[in-house]
Amino acid sequence: MENRRFNTMGSEVVDGYVCKPKKLISDKPIMYFKTQIFLCDGERCSAANKNKELAAHLRELLKRMQLHTGKNRIKISRTNCFGACRFRQVAVVYENTKANGYLANNNIWLKNIHKYDMKKWESLFNDLSSNHALEGLEYEQIPMSELEDE
């Protein structure tokens, strides 16, 4: 019997992949998310983190917390260098403002995430799914400089 795998969008996936669909449907929308977290996986940031499979572990945590789907879905994406190496390892939080209009945690830069244990990640995910503003909580943030007039 054939062992077929399907991604979270219901598409059959190519052997050896987790989410790459066998049949491309170009006008199919992407899966809804409330919050997207971009993890820096650049050379310096990834070297700071002993957990080389951080994104996969966080996705598993989100599944256990039931935040991998539905109206509070949190999406984890890896990215290359953000140019914020001195704050390594960094992550950027974006809210899906088109869908939920919540702005308090949009464009929040978190630093030293390589020091987070799974309990702290769980706390962060709970705060994000509950619309708690991260400002003033126990998450170290990277300051953003003000735009100067020329």
In three-state form (DSSP H/G/I as H, E/B as E, the rest C), the secondary structure along 98-134 is HHHCCCCCCCEEECCHHHCCHHHHHHHHHHHHCCCCC
Asked if residue 71 lies in contact with residue 63, where contact means CB atoms within 8 angstroms, the answer is no
Within-domain flag for 140: no
In the sheet that 91-95 helps form, which strands lie side by side, from edge to edge? 74-79, 35-40, 91-95, 108-110
Task: Name the strand (E) or helix (H) holding 74.
Answer: strand 74-79
> What confidence category does residue 31 fall into, taking pLDDT thresholds of 50, 70 and 90?
confident
Residue position matching structure tokens 């050379």:
43
pLDDT band at residue 149, thresholds of 50, 70 and 90? low
Structural domain tally of the chain? 1
- 63 assigned to some structural domain: yes
pLDDT in tens, 87-146: 989 999 999 877 777 678 888 999 999 999 999 999 999 999 998 888 878 899 998 887
In a domain, 57, yes or no: yes
pLDDT at 3: 79
The DSSP bridge partners found for residue 35 are: 74, 95
Residue 68 belongs to a domain: yes
Helices (H), the chain: 43-48, 54-64, 97-100, 118-129
State pLDDT tens for residues 52-99.
Answer: 789 999 999 999 999 998 889 999 999 999 989 889 899 999 998 777
Q: What angle do CA 122, 138, 51 make, to 5 degrees?
A: 50
Whichever domain contains 122, its CATH number is 3.40.30
**Structural domain contains residue 1:** no
Please report, to the nearest 10 degrees, the dihedral formed by the alpha carbons of residues 69, 101, 125, 64 taken in order.
Answer: -10
Q: Do the domain assignments include residue 22?
A: no
Task: Answer yes or no: is 146 within a domain.
Answer: no
Is the pTM for the entire model greater than 0.75?
Answer: yes
Query: Is 8 part of a structural domain of the chain?
Result: no
Determine the structural domain holding residue 44 and report its residue range: 35-129
pLDDT given at position 2: 67
